[in-house]
C-alpha cells in the first residue's frame, strides 16, 4: 500500500498528489511514468511522473479527472492509501547534447512537460516554454514554468489569459524568426502534438512527442500500448511502455493513435457516470 502524503487541487478537474513510494522516488526521471491501482478491484492506469523527492521518498503525480478511475483516485484523501504504485516505467526523456530546447505543454500535459523543463533547466540548457489551455480557469503550473524558462508563452483558446490561440502560434513565430532549437518537445493532447509536428516540419528541427496510449501491465507484456512509426515509408510497430513513451514526432502515426485511444469510449463513459452516481449517493 502506498500512502498519499499530500493532495492539492490545481484546478476544478486537475489534482496533484504526492505518493510515498521510496524505490520509485529514487529512480524516476523526467519523462518516465508509473502505473497505479486505486483499490483492490481497480484498473491499472499509467500516469507520468510529475516530480520526485528522493529524500522524502515521494513521487508527485498530476491527473485530470476524465473517467471512473481518476474520479476514484480523486476521491482519496491525504493520509489514504493506494493499492498499487509501480515504476518508474518507460525510458526517460533524452537530454544529452541539447543546449536549446522549446518545450510545449497542452492542458494537463503541462504536468509532464514541467519536470522535463526543470530537468533541462538544471542542466543549464536554454528553455523556451509554450503552454496552452482552453481558458483562464484551468491554467496550471504557470509559476513553475516561469522559474525554469528563459521565455514563457501562455496561450488560451479564448484569450482569457495570456494570448489568444493555440500553442502553434508562438512556435511558428519563433521558427519564422529563425530561432534555432536543438529540439522541440511537445506533450499534450494527440491533436496538439500532431499540429506541433506539422508546424515544425518545414524547419527541419527534431520534435519529440510523449505518447499516452491505453496500457495494462506497462512492462511490455500485453502489447495494448502499441503504436505505429513510419520510418522511410515502412510501418514499424512499437510498444510505448518499453520503447517510449517519447518518440520522434515526425514518425508517429497520430491518426491511428487517436483512433486507438477511443477504443473503449462507450464503456468508459458508462463507468464514469456510474462512479459519479456512486459518489453522489455516498454524499
Partner 1 sequence: MAIIPKKHVMPVQEPELRAHNFQEVALGYSAQIAIEEANRCLHCANQPCVSGCPVNIHIPDFIEKVKEGDFEEAYAIISKSSSLPAVCGRVCPQEKQCESKCTLGIRFEPVGIGYLERFVADHHNNESFSDPVPVETNGHKVAIIGSGPSGLTCAGDLAKKGYEVTVFEALHKAGGVLVYGIPEFRLPKKIVEKEVDTLKKLGAKIQTDVVIGKTLTVDELFETGYEAVYIGSGAGLPNFMKIPGEALKGVYSANEFLTRTNLMKAYETDTMTPIMKGGKVAVVGAGNVAMDAARTALRLGAEKVYVVYRRSMEELTARKEEVEHAKEEGIEFRLLNNPIEILGYHNLEDPRDPKNGFVKGMRCIRMELGEPDASGRRKPVPIEGSEFVIDVDTVIMAIGTSPNPLIKNTTEGLEVNSKGGIIIDENAMTSRQAVYAGGDAVTGSATVISAMGAGKKAAAAIDAYLKQL
Interacting residues toward partner 1 by CB under 8 A: 23-24, 27, 37, 41-44, 68-69, 83-89, 216-217, 219-224, 226-228, 237, 239, 242, 253, 256, 259-260, 262-268, 271
Nearest of 48, 45, 47, 19 to residue 31 by alpha carbon: 48
For the CB of residue 54, give the shortest distance to partner 1 in the complex, in Å: 14
The residue (of 112 and 131) whose beta carbon lies closer to partner 1 is: 112
Q: Which is nearer to partner 1, 13 or 83 (CB)?
A: 83
The answer to whether the peptide bond before residue 88 is cis (omega within 30 degrees of 0) is yes
Nearer to partner 1, 33 or 153 (CB): 33
Least distance between partner 1 and beta carbon 240 (Å) = 12
Please give the angle made by the CA atoms of 254, 259 and 265, to the nearest 5 degrees: 140
Task: Quote the least distance from Cβ 194 to partner 1, whole Å.
Answer: 15
Q: How far is the CB of 23 from partner 1 (least distance, A)?
A: 5
Which one, 126 or 253, has the nearer CB to partner 1?
A: 253
Nearer to partner 1, 127 or 240 (CB): 240
Judged by CB, which is closer to partner 1: 42, or 206?
42
DSSP 91-117: PPPP-TT--EEEEEEEGGGHHHHHHHH
Rounded to an integer, what distance in angstroms lies between the CA atom of residue 139 and that of residue 129? Answer: 14
**How many DSSP H helices and E strands does the chain contain?**
9, 16
Q: How far is the CB of 238 from partner 1 (least distance, A)?
A: 11
- Nearest approach in angstroms of CB 216 to partner 1 is 6
**Sign of the alpha-carbon torsion through 266, 135, 105, 119:** negative
Nearest-angstrom CA–CA distance, 48 and 250: 22
CB closer to partner 1 out of 164 and 267 = 267
Provide, rounded to whole angstroms, the least separation between the CB of residue 81 and partner 1: 13
Nearest to 194 by CA among 63, 92, 106: 106
Buried b (16+ CB within 10 A) or exposed e, 237-273: ebbbbebbbbbebbbbebeebeebbeeeeeebeebbe
Amino acid at each position: 500500500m502506498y500512502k498519499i502524503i499530500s493532495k492539492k487541487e490545481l484546478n476544478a478537474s486537475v489534482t496533484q498528489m504526492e505518493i510515498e513510494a521510496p524505490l520509485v522516488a529514487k529512480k524516476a526521471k523526467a519523462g518516465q511514468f508509473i502505473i497505479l491501482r486505486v483499490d483492490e478491484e481497480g484498473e491499472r492506469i499509467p500516469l507520468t511522473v510529475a516530480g520526485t523527492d528522493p529524500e522524502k521518498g515521494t513521487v508527485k503525480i498530476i491527473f485530470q479527472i476524465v473517467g471512473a478511475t481518476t474520479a476514484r483516485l480523486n476521491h482519496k484523501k491525504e493520509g489514504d492509501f493506494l493499492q498499487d504504485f509501480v515504476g518508474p516505467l518507460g525510458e526517460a526523456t533524452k537530454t544529452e547534447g541539447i543546449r536549446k530546447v522549446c518545450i510545449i505543454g497542452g492542458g494537463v500535459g503541462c504536468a509532464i512537460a514541467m519536470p522535463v523543463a526543470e530537468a533541462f533547466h538544471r542542466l543549464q540548457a536554454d528553455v523556451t516554454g509554450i503552454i496552452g489551455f482552453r481558458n483562464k480557469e484551468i491554467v496550471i503550473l504557470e509559476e513553475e514554468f516561469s522559474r525554469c524558462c528563459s521565455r514563457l508563452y501562455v496561450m488560451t483558446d479564448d484569450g482569457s489569459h495570456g494570448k489568444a490561440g493555440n500553442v502553434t502560434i508562438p512556435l511558428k513565430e519563433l521558427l519564422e524568426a529563425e530561432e534555432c532549437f536543438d529540439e522541440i518537445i511537445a506533450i499534450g493532447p494527440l491533436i496538439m502534438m500532431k499540429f506541433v509536428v506539422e508546424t515544425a516540419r518545414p524547419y527541419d528541427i527534431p520534435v519529440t512527442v510523449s505518447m499516452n496510449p491505453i496500457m495494462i501491465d506497462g512492462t511490455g507484456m500485453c502489447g495494448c500500448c502499441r503504436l505505429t512509426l513510419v520510418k522511410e515509408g515502412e510501418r514499424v510497430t512499437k510498444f510505448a511502455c518499453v520503447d517510449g513513451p517519447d518518440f520522434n514526432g515526425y514518425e508517429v502515426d497520430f491518426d491511428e493513435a487517436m483512433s486507438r485511444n477511443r477504443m473503449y469510449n462507450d464503456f468508459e463513459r458508462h463507468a464514469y457516470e456510474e462512479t459519479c452516481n456512486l459518489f453522489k449517493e455516498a454524499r
